[in-house]
Every structure is written in C-alpha cells, then in structure tokens.
Chain A
Amino acid sequence: GAVVSQHPSWVICKSGTSVKIECRSLDFQATTMFWYRQFPKQSLMLMATSNEGSKATYEQGVEKDKFLINHASLTLSTLTVTSAHPEDSSFYICSAEPGHQFQETQYFGPGTRLLVL
C-alpha cells in the first residue's frame, strides 16, 4: 500500500516551454501532497504544500507564478513549470501523506528529472 506515482519520469524540453508533472496517490486519498526539488548532491527542498480544493502554500523563495500547482482531486496533484529555463533543470519529487496512519509518514513518488536545454 501507500504507492505514489509520478509522470513523466524524464522530461527534456527547450527553454521557454512549460512542463506539467503529475503526482498520483494510487491506493489512498491524500488531502495534502508536497512538492520537492533536489539538485545533484544536495538535499530535498520543499517547494510547496498542495491542498486539495484550495491554493497551494509556497515556501519562501519559490515563485508561485512560475511553479503552478493544482490539486484537482484527492489522488492527483500537478506541478507546471512555466517558461522553463536551464536553471530549472532538477529532480522534482512529490510526496503524499495518507493522513490516517499514526506515523504520519510521507510516501514519495519516483521523481521526475527535468532537463531544460
């Protein structure tokens, strides 16, 4: 149980284009999902908290107009990187929390590698 999927796993795009990444909880409902970014050899940095039915909460320094988050249902959140530039190249990972478990554990998707040329 507690499986989170992401699509696509790899994206290569030209500078200036927009890229959408999907995050799905496959066997549980997630009121809250989280989006992280990880640069090579660095830790995971929380970008935003995605809440079903309401606006996402962005961490300081993350541009909400550049990283659009939509939490359309209890099993799907999307991250759209608008007008992507080479510095946006990174490993984007989502996570979801089942919520009902005592451990309050976040389960991570397999990640999406974005390369902007």
Chain B
Amino acid sequence: GQSLEQPSEVTAVEGAIVQINCTYQTSGFYGLSWYQQHDGGAPTFLSYNALDGLEETGRFSSFLSRSDSYGYLLLQELQMKDSASYFCAVSSGSARQLTFGSGTQLTVLP
C-alpha cells in the first residue's frame, strides 16, 4: 500500500517562507503532487514533480528526491490568503490513482 507523512500544522507570519515536508512509501511511483484546499472548498492543483529536482511556479516551489522518497512544498512571501490545508499526494498504479497525505494546516499570522 501507500503511506504519506506530512506535518499536521504549520504557523508562520506574513512575508515569511515556509517549507512543508512530505515523505512517502509506495510502489509503482509516478510522481508527487501538491494541492491546496481552503475551508469548504475543493482541492486546487499547485504542482507536480515526476523527476528529481525543484519546480518553481511563482511564490510556490516543489522539490522531489525519488531516492529519498521525499519532497517538499516551499511557500515564499506568505500572504494571509495562503492560510489553508496543503496535501501532498503520490500518483501510482496503472490508473495513476492519487493517494493523499493527511494534510498540513498552514496558518499565516499578520
């Protein structure tokens, strides 16, 4: 089966940088995705890493190390609107099913 570990909560102040780590155990790994979910909303896609290295998209970056079964999401120049839950998810299996981590609740303080 698949399992993912990520911190349950992170708190930071506006303008700061936050890194949310994710370690995983899976078979048939294709890639690691990150999703953001605000209270009451559906997940929105942030990034996807299939290969080792860093992917940058604006204020958000995501990193993957396949050999370490580890990745992280880096959020820079934090804004209040970034307060949300962040999920890492591995895609695996013949249908590229997503298995989600338990989520990290990010709280951005003024």
Binding site for B on A (CB under 8 A): 32, 34, 42-46, 49, 51, 57, 93, 95, 97, 103-111
Contacts and interface: CB of A to CB of B under 8 A. Distances in A.
A32 B95 contact: yes
Interface string B38-57: 00011111001010000000
Q: Across chains A and B, which 10 residue pairs bring their CB atoms closest together, nearest first?
A: A111-B42, A103-B48, A43-B100, A44-B100, A108-B42, A49-B95, A110-B42, A43-B102, A108-B43, A43-B103
A80 to B, nearest CB: 20
Contacts of A46: 97-99
Interface of B: 30-31, 33, 35, 41-45, 48, 50, 87, 91, 95-103
17 contacts: A34-B97, A43-B102, A44-B43, A46-B98, A49-B97, A57-B95, A97-B96, A103-B48, A104-B30, A104-B31, A104-B96, A105-B45, A105-B48, A106-B98, A109-B42, A110-B41, A111-B42
